[in-house]
Amino acid sequence: MKVQRVYIDTSVLGGCFDPEFAPWPNGLMKDFRLGNYNPIVSEMVAAEVKNAPEYVQSVYADLIDLGAERLATNDQVVELANAYQDRSILTPKYYDDGLHVALATVHEVNLIASWNFKHIVHYDKIRRFAAANIDLGYKPIQIHSPREVTNYEVMTYEEATR
């Protein structure tokens, strides 16, 4: 069976240390360590992490050490993100959220894990991203919270990295 490629945005990295959300992104980190999923990040995530607290940067570094694939923005990605704007799926202020979805879509990732419930993991947005993708010749992308993706519920980052 082919291992699923899971794109994670910066919200998942920060969630590893948030008491309300920590069990699930840490469980997802454990899944990555065990080879249940292949971690996928992007140059956007790398750029966002540069200004994040050191502990968030360490989670990103761990993913890179695990062999996370790093997606690059290209003309197709920008074109798709612009199409999301043209269809008013997101406002210009949240263009980068559309870039995350476009990156995962163009690079044929299996699913996106995110805690961004307002702009990415939102029923109406998921439906509209899928419609735009289909109209433009791409597959619809699965979008879920880490809670829906992980096979494990661990409490701390330290437990996930054992």
Which DSSP symbol is given to 115?
-
Average pLDDT over residues 68-97: 97
Question: Percentage of the chain surpassing pLDDT 90?
Answer: 90
* Mean pLDDT across the chain: 94
Phi, psi for 93 (deg, rounded to 5): -60, -30
Specify burial of residue 144 (Cβ count, 10 A radius: 0-12, 13-18, 19+). Answer: middle
What pTM was computed for the model? 0.93
Confidence at residue 152, expressed as pLDDT on a 0 to 100 scale:
82
pLDDT digits (tens, 9 = 90+) for 7-23: 999 999 999 999 889 99
pLDDT digits (tens, 9 = 90+) for 38-57: 999 999 999 999 999 999 99
Nearest to 25 by CA among 36, 16, 38: 16
Is the per-residue pLDDT at 86 higher than 70?
yes
Confidence at residue 13, expressed as pLDDT on a 0 to 100 scale:
96
Strands 69-71 and 37-42: parallel
Question: Percentage of the chain surpassing pLDDT 70?
Answer: 99
Fold of 4-71+110-130+141-160: Rossmann fold (3.40.50)
In this structure, which amino acid lies at residue 128? R
Confidence at residue 158, expressed as pLDDT on a 0 to 100 scale:
76
Nearest to 71 by CA among 95, 94, 38: 38
Confidence at residue 155, expressed as pLDDT on a 0 to 100 scale:
62
In the structure, what pLDDT confidence band is assigned to residue 153 with cuts at 50, 70 and 90? confident
| Rounded Cα–Cα distance for residues 96 and 120 (Å) | 11
Domain boundaries, the chain: 4-71+110-130+141-160
| Rounded Cα–Cα distance for residues 21 and 71 (Å) | 25
**Residue partners of 79: CB distance under 8 A and separation at least 6:** none
Is the per-residue pLDDT at 79 higher than 80?
yes
Is the per-residue pLDDT at 128 higher than 80?
yes
> Please, which residues bridge with residue 144 across strands?
113
H or E element in which residue 129 lies: helix 123-135
Q: Compute and round to an integer the Cα radius of gyration of the chain.
A: 15
